[in-house]
Amino acid sequence: MLYHRQPKMDTWALFALVMLVLGAIQYYVYFWSRPARETSRFLPGPRSWPIFGAALSIGRNPVDVYKSLCDWAKEHGYVYRGWAGPYLFVLVADPVFMEPLLNSTVNIKKSMNYEFLQPWLSTGLLTSSGSKWKSRRKIITPAFHFKILEGFMDSFNSNADVLISKWKRQVGGPEFDIFKHITLYTLDVICEAAMGVQMNFQNNQNCEYIATLHKLADTIVSRSVSPWYFPEFIFNLSPIGRKQKDLIKALHSMSYKVIEQRKKDLCNGKKIENSGTVNYNDVGQKKRLAFLDMLLQYNEDGGNLTLEDIREEVDTFMFEGHDTTSSGLSFCLWSLAESPDCQEKAYEELFEIFGDSDRDTTTEDLGKMKYLECVIKESLRLYPSVPFFLRELNEDVKIEGINIVAGTTVGLSPAIMHKNPKYFPNPEKFDPERFTAENVRGRHPYAYVPFSAGPRNCIGQKFAMMEIKVLISKVLRNYKLIGVGRKPTFSYELILKTTEGLYIKLENRK
C-alpha cells in the first residue's frame, strides 16, 4: 500500500529541502523578526526544538492536541507562547487579554491556520478577512434577525419530534451514544431551516456527510500541528493531502446538490419575493426566507455572487450550523443526565410552562426558560463547542505591560479560560447557579465567551440557543435522563468532541 512504500531519493531530498527552509525561516523569525523578539522573550511556554518548535510534544491526534494545550496552561499560566515550527503563537485564556483582542475592529484577521480550511470552505464568512468578510457579514446578517428566527420554530419542533419518537425504543434499554443522534437532528434542522431542503438525515443512520466531515476534520487538525505540512505543495503531495482532496470533493458535491435542489424548487413556482424576509407558497401564504434563498435572491436583485460564492457559504453554514450545535446539545443533555438534581429543577420549570401538554414550544416559552438557560450556559462553560480560535494581529496590542506586536498569531481559548478558578470557583463542578443574575454581576464580562465576542462573534448564536432550548425542553418533558458515570476523553476536531461518544440511559417521564 502507499503508506508502506519506500520513499524515493527525490522524496527524501524534497523533505530535506523543506526542513532547511523551515530552519531558515525559524532562524530569521527568532533572531530578526520584531514579533518574536518583542513578544516571545517576555512570556513562558513549552520547550521548543530547532525547526520543529513544540510540534514534537503537542501530539499528532486530536486528543493529544487538546490535552497538550490545556496542560501547558496549567504549567505556564493563562497566557503563554509556543512555536509551531518557525511560527510563533501566543495562547490567551485570560479575560483581561481577551477583551482588547476580541473588541478590536482592526485585529479581526483569522490566522494562517484557517488557510488550511480554505480548500474546503474557500473564503466564506468563517475564513475570510478584510473587505470580503465585511461585505459577506453585511449580506448574511439580516438572515439572523429575531423575526426571521421566529420562523424557524416549526423546523426546530418538527425535527425534535422525530428524535423524541426515535428515542422511544431506547427507553428502559442499555446505555447509548447520544452524540450520533443529536448530530443527525442538527443536520436536519440546518438543511431545512437555512437551506430550505428536507434531507431526512435522522432516518439515515449511515450518514455519508458526517463520516466524511469527521475524516476531513482529522486531516485539518493533523496538518495544523505538523509544520512540515504547512507548505501547500508538500501537503498536496503527501498521502494525507491526497486523502483530504478526495474528502473535500465529496463534501463539495453534496453542497452543490443542495443548491441545485433548492434552485429547482424555486424554478418550479416557488417565487422569491423582493422583501428580503419572506416568500410565498402555492396558496399565497407567507413563509420565512431560508438562508440559501436569501443568497439566491441577492443575485436576483442584482448581486454578484457566483455559484462558487454561494457554495462556500453553504459549506460554512452546513458545518458551523450543525457541528457546533450538536456538540453543545450533546454535552448539555449528558451533563443533565449526570446531574439529576439540576435535571429535576429544569423539568419543574418546564412543567410550570407546559403542564402535561405535548404542545410545540413557542418563542414566548423560550423566554420563560430562565433556569434552563443557566443550564445551557454552564454546559457551554465547561464544554465550549469551539475551544480555540485564532487571530493574526494587524497592529500592536499592549496588555498588562506585555506588548504583543503585529504579525503574532494569537490563540484565544474559552475552553481553558472558562475553568479559571479566579472567575469560576471549583471550576470542574457543573453548577448552573453560576449564571443567575446575582452571580453574574461583578464577573469580568469577557470571562465567559462561548460564542466569541466583538465584531467576529458567532452570527448564529441566537439560532443555536433557540434550537438547543427547543430540543432540550422536548426531551425533558418526555424522558428522564440517567447518567452512566462514563468520563469522556476530549478531542479537538475543530469542534470539541469525545473519542467514545456521550452515553446515557432513558426512562419515560410520564
Q: Mark the binding-site residues for heme, compressed into ranges.
A: 458
* Distance from C-alpha of 124 to C-alpha of 55, rounded to nearest angstrom: 29
Longest dimension (CA), the chain: 74
For the annotated binding site, the residues are 458
* Distance from C-alpha of 389 to C-alpha of 415, rounded to nearest angstrom: 10
* Distance from C-alpha of 107 to C-alpha of 113, rounded to nearest angstrom: 16
Q: Please tell me what DSSP assigns to residue 450.
A: B
**Pair 496, 490: CB distance under 8 Å:** yes
Helix (H) or strand (E) holding 270: none
* Distance from C-alpha of 91 to C-alpha of 71, rounded to nearest angstrom: 12
* Distance from C-alpha of 185 to C-alpha of 407, rounded to nearest angstrom: 41
Q: What are the two backbone dihedrals, phi and then psi, of residue 493, each rounded to the nearest 5 degrees?
A: -110, 55
Which grid cell sits at 210? Answer: 458526517
3-class state of residue 439 by DSSP: helix
Q: What are the two backbone dihedrals, phi and then psi, of residue 83, each rounded to the nearest 5 degrees?
A: -120, 135
Which grid cell sits at 361? Answer: 414550544
* Distance from C-alpha of 508 to C-alpha of 478, rounded to nearest angstrom: 6
Indicate the burial class of 377 (C-beta count within 10 angstroms; 0-12, 13-18, 19 or more). Answer: middle
Tell me whether strands 389-392 and 409-412 are parallel, antiparallel or unpaired.
antiparallel
Which grid cell sits at 39? Answer: 513578544
